[in-house]
Structure 1
Amino acid sequence: MSAAVVLFDARNDHTQAGACRIGEEDLGAFVKIPGGGFLKGADPHYPEEGPPDYVFVSPFRLLAHEVTNSEFAAFVAATGYVTEAERTGGSARFQDSATPEVFLSWWRLDPDASWQTPRGSGSTLEGLDLHPVVHVTLNDARAYADWAGGRLPTEVEWEYAASLGLFDPDDPFSGMRDANGEPRANVWTGMFPLVDSGQDGFAGLAPVGCYQPGLTGAYDMIGNVWEWTDSAFAPSSPQYTIKGGSYLCSDTYCRRYRAAAREDFEIDFSTGHIGFRIVQDLP
């Protein structure tokens, strides 16, 4: 991967689009993930993360960054695809709340929210070409992957790649920050859900590739947006697994900015903090 990524300078305000950029040669690039074994669910923090299990994974190629708005726009232009949020009544957006102690008050089902209007009515993608596409369901992500000549990763593949990328395998939080506490991912800094200080460079979503890539060369495996996998959350479960945490994960809330962290989600529903990346099988 190229080193031509401009990282943020914490002394400046980088909460606006365009504050950092990934090298053109890195957009759409894949990194090779070698086959091997690893401990899935290592150091579990929540009941749904365990028990740890040693598994083997075949090699594959992983998109180095989350699928961007510009990439998804190309898919829509080529195919005429209409996302489920656009067809079935909107998507969920995180919002300020007068009653932050009430979990559901943080979220609003916005009938006008979609991948093209991520902040609801009147919003556009202007300046957001390199942001990860959001408000996409598992079905939408699968459709894009088919068109792009790939597929969604399984949960095991995703966690394996994220684990290989850690700078310190003994520190499950090393994908989020270095040993000195400097940020390696876009998460929530400040008192959740009241104030996101942007101390890590961004309040809200960041463009892809703004942080140091992991040891595999893949960016943003931790934080920014949750990522769809093509694995059911549990046997016979209608819910599927999302991985990696998002900009809404914080020390005072979910702490799911770890490779082993996992959440379940409905396959036909979307939010403003879930995106995806794709993989390709090796010959």
Structure 2
Amino acid sequence: MAWIPTGSFVLGSKEFEDAGPPLELKVPGFWLDVTEVTNAAFAQFVQETAYVTDAEKPTEAPMPGQKGLPPGSFVFVPPPGGPDGKVALDDHWQWWQFVAGACWRNPQGPGSGIDQMESHPVVHISWNDALAYCRWAGKRLPTEAEWERAARGPFAAAVLPWGDELNPGGAWLNNIWQGKFPGENTREDGFAATAPVGSYPPSPWGLHDMSGNVWEWCNDWYAPDTYWRLRARHSFTPTEADSHDPAEPGVPKRVQRGGSFLCSDLYCVRYRLGSRGKGEPVSAAVHVGFRCAK
């Protein structure tokens, strides 16, 4: 783990509607995992505890008379048509498919596996799963403010962990999508999906993959107006009752940070440090993992 010293930084960004207004915030010192939790580490946890992830459990029907979902998770599947196919980028369900049997052991579904991927970040992990691992390891999930403080490092208001330029000198320093999303991935950074943790240079504070690779769960409940309330009250921690997503009213969600290998500089740019993701505590996907704090 790396020690993140007490200090102030600029939380948020004007670039994203739910990440503003930016405000200066002081965070006490804490420890943070240098890398995202790997398949090998999660496998040890499962071996010692017999833990079953949310993706490995069937989902109950939302209403009487309806059918629930079998065990499985969401997998990225490029839509037909290739790089020249017409795709409405505001409809992400064109490239997300629920795949029965997809889970951390079988990232692409039945027939896939994690052999030779021990050092890759574990994926298809829900917030509940991440919390269970943290407790087993004697750690916890970072708060959203802690995560962003660590990611920004000495660059208190930078766009990326190393500064403001995406690939300085032509070098890719994070695992994101290159090419025309979602039909063409040119893999200029060396990877089509997850990369082994530590594949890119560390941040000034010794952290890897704080931008890209996989989204990382934070402890906080998500609300689109969190920063406005924080500025007005000087102290605000959303509760489950505060949590809401305008895209899915009535569905409380937890915060995710850092973006993933599916983020593109020509599309969502969610690999930038001010960006906020979110997901239901039971939800999982092929681009979501976590790291621990202490």
The reply to whether TM is greater than 0.5 is yes
Indicate the structure (1 or 2) with the bigger Cα radius of gyration: 2
- Residues 244-255 of structure 1 aligned to structure 2 (within 5 Å): 244-255=258-269
**Letter of the aligned partner of 1:63 in structure 2?**
D
Partner residue of 1:49?
19
CA distance in 2, matches of 1:267, 1:141: 10
SS at match of 2:205: coil
| Cα distance, 1:174 vs structure 2 | 5.5
**Letter of the aligned partner of 1:185 in structure 2?**
N
Query: Is 1:39 the equivalent of 2:10?
Result: yes
| Cα distance, 1:182 vs structure 2 | 1.7
CA distance in 1, matches of 2:219, 2:161: 25
Of 66, 78, 90, the residue aligned with 2:36 is 66
Compared CA separation, residues 164 and 134, structure 1 to 2 (3 A):
same
Q: Contact 2:161 / 2:273 at 8 angstroms: preserved in 1?
A: no
**Letter of the aligned partner of 2:269 in structure 1?**
R
| Cα distance, 1:181 vs structure 2 | 3.7
Q: Deviations over 1:102-145 (max 9, x none)?
A: 42120111111000111101111111100000001000000000
Compared CA separation, residues 279 and 170, structure 1 to 2 (3 A):
closer
Of 139, 158, 176, the residue aligned with 1:187 is 176
SS at match of 1:92: strand
Partner residue of 1:95?
77
CA distance in 2, matches of 1:92, 1:132: 16
Identity, % of aligned pairs? Answer: 43
**Letter of the aligned partner of 1:132 in structure 2?**
P
**Letter of the aligned partner of 1:220 in structure 2?**
D
| Cα distance, 1:171 vs structure 2 | 4.2
Query: Is 1:115 the equivalent of 2:86?
Result: no
- Residues 1-283 of structure 1 aligned to structure 2 (within 5 Å): 30-41=1-12, 43-88=13-58, 89-98=71-80, 100-101=87-88, 102-164=91-153, 171-173=158-160, 175=162, 177-234=166-223, 235=238, 236-237=242-243, 238-280=252-294
Q: Deviations over 1:38-97 (max 9, x none)?
A: 1101x4211101001111111111100000000000000000000010012211000021
SS at match of 1:32: strand
CA distance in 2, matches of 1:165, 1:124: 39
SS at match of 1:156: helix
Q: Contact 2:161 / 2:203 at 8 angstroms: preserved in 1?
A: no
Partner residue of 1:16?
none
CA-based RMSD of the aligned residues comes to 1.5
Q: Contact 1:185 / 1:211 at 8 angstroms: preserved in 2?
A: yes
**Letter of the aligned partner of 1:252 in structure 2?**
L
SS at match of 2:291: coil
CA distance in 1, matches of 2:42, 2:154: 26
Q: Contact 1:63 / 1:279 at 8 angstroms: preserved in 2?
A: yes
Q: Contact 1:165 / 1:214 at 8 angstroms: preserved in 2?
A: no
Q: Unaligned regions of 5+ residues in structure 1, if any?
A: 1-29
**Letter of the aligned partner of 2:147 in structure 1?**
W
**Letter of the aligned partner of 2:172 in structure 1?**
P
Q: Contact 2:151 / 2:161 at 8 angstroms: preserved in 1?
A: no
Q: Tell me whether 96-105 or 50-59 shows the greater mean CA deviation.
A: 96-105
Q: Deviations over 1:234-261 (max 9, x none)?
A: 2411111100010111122110111111
Q: Could you state the TM-score of these two structures normalised by the residue count of structure 2?
A: 0.81
Structure 1 segments, 4+ long, off by >2 Å, are: 99-103, 173-181
